Structure 1
């Protein structure tokens, strides 16, 4: 039975005003919690941004590697003039360039050994020097044969007359192999001999190790 006494309220009973007050209180608590959560997220985001930019290496992209820069030195240029070709020079000897690297062509002289002993149609000793007394020099011998087969046979014999090659390879012109080349130790310390064939022509250059190899790489025949 419910007590009907004036002013009596049964346990658990709430007046409309109290119920409204409770709802408002709960709503205020929820709003405060939401505000606190939002503020916390903002604070975390701010800390992350600051850390990313100020903490060494944190969240920063790796810098792009700098491109390799290759500095190519200017090719050496001669400081002397080439010797004039002999009167009535053949097309073969006239094809010998005026210079190679910083070396200039000296006066060509006929080489009888390759003509009489190796069957060359013509052969020449052509010195290349820096133009100074006692300066750098490469001694070149060049010969021309009737055909590639005779030139190949002569090349083998000429190569057999020097020390065993330490480097061998192919001579290519326009991507086509036209003969072999070989680098052999020279008779004097610190010198090398490069022997190569270009179709019907055979060449042999002797000089200081690196110089004569660079000479071969530069020589256009």
Structure 2
């Protein structure tokens, strides 16, 4: 502070001078920088949340379609490869047509045997019908307990197909086996033979012995029973397959 020549004190203003800009104009509030030349204003172009959701869902859907297509291609061309030309095609199913069993056209003859074994012998076999039934002593010498001769035919007269069956019962399986072996030997050299199975278990054996004029004899054993069918070769084969004993 300085004194004036008159003794009074003259003070300088304490207020600082206003700051000026480089041009001399007073400084104002800071200005927001302008966007770069050629750049678009992105501050107000942000998509809505619904549009973002739809876009994400579309991306997920396209991805799932691609995955499914890839899996289908692998299955078709890699494993199991059913679309490859070298893949083996499944075999066509086999259709089996079974013909109806032939039915008899005659009435069976009256039975003469009364034992359980005699009554177990059938009245009909396929289309063959019992025409006569009588006891026989043909196998008595072979120690058979009982034996019966049954004649089956598919009609009447000389033109009918006729098969004769002799059936006998033995006391033991061993005796029946020995008797069957003797009957096979007497019928001639068999062209076919094998086991007789009942319920999946072997119950005896069979043998097919051919004869002259297309005839044949089939001899088989089932436990203690021995049976022998004679007649046309094809007919006796069918009788053996269908006979219940």
TM over 0.5: yes
**Residue of structure 2 in register with 1:218 after alignment:** 242
Counterpart selection for 2:100 from 57, 63, 74 = 74
Larger Rg: 2
Alignment CA distance shift 1:64-1:93 (3 Å): same
Distance 1:197 1:65, change over 3 A: closer
CA distance in 2 between counterparts of 1:158 and 1:118 reads 10
TM-score normalised according to structure 2 size = 0.62
Moved over 4 A (4+): 59-65
Match among 117, 126, 135 for residue 101 of structure 1:
126
Gapped regions of structure 1 (runs ≥ 5): 1-58
Choose the corresponding residue for 2:233, options 209, 215, 219: 209
User: SS at the partner of 1:220?
Assistant: coil
Listed as ranges, the gaps of 5+ residues in structure 2 are 1-83
What is the RMSD of the two structures over their aligned residues, measured on CA atoms?
Answer: 1.9
1:74-110 deviation per Cα after TM superposition (whole angstroms, max 9, x unaligned):
1111111111111x61111111111111001122112
Matched residue of 1:76: which SS? coil
Q: Quote how far apart the aligned CAs of 1:67 are.
A: 2.3
Change (3 A) 1:153 1:67: same
CA deviation digits over 1:142-183, x for unaligned, max 9?
000111111111111111111100101000100111111000
Give the TM-score, by structure 1 length.
Answer: 0.68
Q: Give the alignment of 1:171-190 within 5 angstroms.
A: 171-186=196-211, 188-190=212-214
- Whether 2:137 is the aligned partner of 1:112: answer yes
Number of matched pairs: 161
**What residue number does 1:42 align with?**
none
What's the offset of the Cα at 1:64? 6.2
The equivalent of 1:31 in structure 2 is: none
CA deviation vs aligned residue, 1:60-80 (integer Å, no higher than 9, x gap): 999865422211111111111
**Aligned partner of residue 139 in structure 2, secondary structure:** helix
Higher helix share: 1
Partner of 2:218: 194
Helix, strand or coil at the partner of 1:78: coil
Ranked by relative contact order (alpha carbons within 8 Å, sequence separation 6 or more), the top structure is 1
